[in-house]
Amino acid sequence: MTKGSVFTRAQLRAQRLFNSWDIATAAGNKVLIAYSNSTGRMGTGMHVQVFGIGFKTDPKGPWYNYGNKTFLVNGIKDKPLKLLAAQGWASIQGYVGPYTEWERDPFGGWHPKGSILRAWKAATITRLYDHGQKEVTA
């Protein structure tokens, strides 16, 4: 696992990548893994979730998880274990390769390694094309 991104939030936002979902979408990823320590509806505690990009990763799960595969975290020391469990689950389900390394974006989401750079390049090409520069080299 790679601890962090070489890009800052400000650099990503300048390319119209405002959150982890935008990065995963621009990179063409199937899934995104995120940690939440907030309590949502029904008092849901700390958890790690696997979000499907355009599909539900756990369509038969409880309604309050919104179709996302969820791993409950029992204390801060349990967080790394649940993150590894989520990454392993994504691999077993075939959303990523079996030996995929992961990297964390500045917004807190986890992506297969190389995703942030792919998203940056895709956003740069889109931005340049939108501004009338038809010939783009990346």
Contacts of 118 by beta carbon, 8 Å cutoff, 6+ apart = 26, 27, 28
Please, what is the average pLDDT of the chain? 87
> Which residues on adjacent β-strands are paired with residue 112?
102
SS3 39: coil
pLDDT in tens, 51-82: 999 999 999 999 988 999 999 999 889 999 99
Q: Per-residue pLDDT averaged across 26-54, rounded?
A: 86
pLDDT of residue 83: 97
pLDDT in tens, 78-111: 999 999 999 999 999 999 999 999 999 999 999 9
Q: For residue 27, what are the CA distances in angstroms to 13, 22, 47, 119, 120?
A: 15, 8, 24, 4, 8
pLDDT of residue 45: 82
Closest CA to 34 of 26, 44, 24: 24
| Residue 53 φ/ψ, nearest 5 degrees | -85, 100
- Would the pLDDT of 135 be above 70? no
Q: Return the half-sphere exposure (C-beta side, CA atoms, 13 A cut-off) of residue 85.
A: 14
| Residue 62 φ/ψ, nearest 5 degrees | -60, 150
Cα–Cα distance measured from residue 48 to residue 85, given in angstroms and rounded to the nearest whole number? 9
- Would the pLDDT of 126 be above 60? yes
Helix, strand, coil content of the chain in percent (nearest 5): 40, 15, 45
Instruction: Work out the percent of the chain whose per-residue pLDDT is above 70.
Output: 83
pLDDT of residue 137: 54
The model's pTM: 0.84
